[in-house]
Amino acid sequence: MAIRIFETDPDAKPKGSFSDDTVGRFHSGRSVNNVPEALAEWKVTTGDPDVAAAIAQLMGGQPVETDSTSENFIEILTDTKRIKAVLSGPDAIASDMKLWNGNVLIHHCDGVEFLSPDQDRGKACGCPSLMEDRKAAYKAKRGPGPSISILFRLAEDYDLGLFRFQTGSWKLAEVLHEIGNALDKVGAEALAELGIELVEYTTKKGRDVSYFKPVVKVLKSWNDAVADPTH
C-alpha cells in the first residue's frame, strides 16, 4: 500500500512486501522531557550491544543503555548527518496515513480509501482533497499524517543487518513518488543516501524559518557500487 494523496490534488505533486526483521532503528528526532526535538545527526537505537558498537565505530557517538521498555534500549547519538544505505527496491519503502489518539489508531488510510478496520477497507476515507487542507487537518489533529517506513542495510557494513527508519515527514511524503520511480529504474538493490538536511528560509513577512528534514537520494545500483570501489 502507498499514499495516494496526489490523486485528489495533482497540482501539489512536486515536479520531478515489507519486513520488520530489523537489528535497529534510525531516528531523526527524540523526546526530551516529553518534548519532541529534531536532531541534526542520526540517532540509532538497538538491542544488540555488538550492533551498537559497530554503529558507534562507523558513525561516531557512544552506546548508552536507556531505561526504555523497547527492545531497542541502547541509544547512540551519532555525529553523522548522511549515510550510504542499500535498499532492496521499491518494496523497501512502505507508506500510509495515520491518526493516533494516544496509542489508539483512530484513522488509517492511503489518503483516498480506508486501509483499516476491515469493515471499512476500500471505502472513501473522507480526507480533504487539497494538500494544504490535509496538512491543516493534521495540524489540528482532525486528520491523518504520513507514516513512512524505510528498510535498509548499511553500505559500509552490509552484513550487520536490516535497519528501519520511520518518519511522519510531509516533505519526504511529497517526494516518495520520485524515490519509487528511481528505485524502479534501478530494478534491483540500490545504493542510496539517507540524510538529515537543514532547511532555512525567510518568509514573505520577514520571519526566519529553519527546520531539519529527512532526505533520500537514490544513487545507483548496488551491483555497480560494489564494482566501483569509490562508492
Question: How far does Cα 32 stand from its chain's mean position?
Answer: 20
Question: How far does Cα 84 stand from its chain's mean position?
Answer: 15
Task: Name the 3-class secondary structure at 49.
Answer: helix
What are the tens digits of pLDDT across the range 177-220?
999 999 999 999 999 999 999 988 888 888 988 889 999 999 99
Which cell is 222 given?
A: 548496488
Which cell is 100 given?
A: 493516533
Which cell is 22 given?
A: 530489523
Residue with cell 540524510: 195
Whats the size of the chain, residue-wise? Answer: 231
The whole-number pLDDT of residue 24 equals: 97
Q: Which of 49, 53, 138 is nearest to 98 (CA)?
A: 138
Decide if 128 is inside a domain.
yes
Radius of gyration of the chain (CA): 18
Structural domains of the chain, count: 1
Decide if 36 is inside a domain.
no
The whole-number pLDDT of residue 32 equals: 81
- How far is residue 230's CA from residue 221's CA, in Å, rounded to a whole number? 14
The whole-number pLDDT of residue 108 equals: 97
pTM of the model: 0.87
Question: How far does Cα 95 stand from its chain's mean position?
Answer: 9
Sign of the CA dihedral with 143 first, then 196, 102, and 149 last: positive
The whole-number pLDDT of residue 17 equals: 41
Domain span at residue 111 reads 10-16+92-146
Q: Which of 151, 175, 170 is nearest to 161 (CA)?
A: 151
pLDDT in tens, the chain (231 residues): 577 777 787 767 665 444 458 999 999 998 887 788 889 999 999 999 999 999 999 999 999 999 888 899 999 999 999 999 999 999 999 999 999 998 999 999 999 999 999 999 999 999 999 999 999 999 999 999 999 999 999 999 999 999 999 999 999 999 999 999 999 999 999 999 999 999 888 888 889 888 899 999 999 999 999 997 665
Task: Name the 3-class secondary structure at 161.
Answer: coil
Decide if 119 is inside a domain.
yes
Decide if 187 is inside a domain.
no
Helix (H) or strand (E) holding 35: strand 35-46
Decide if 87 is inside a domain.
no
- How far is residue 132's CA from residue 127's CA, in Å, rounded to a whole number? 12
CA atoms within 13 A on the CB side of 231: 23
Decide if 101 is inside a domain.
yes
The whole-number pLDDT of residue 18 equals: 45
Task: Name the 3-class secondary structure at 72.
Answer: coil
Decide if 118 is inside a domain.
yes
- How far is residue 113's CA from residue 101's CA, in Å, rounded to a whole number? 20
Q: Which of 42, 47, 96 is nearest to 73 (CA)?
A: 47
Report whether 12 contacts 130 (CB < 8 A): yes
Decide if 137 is inside a domain.
yes
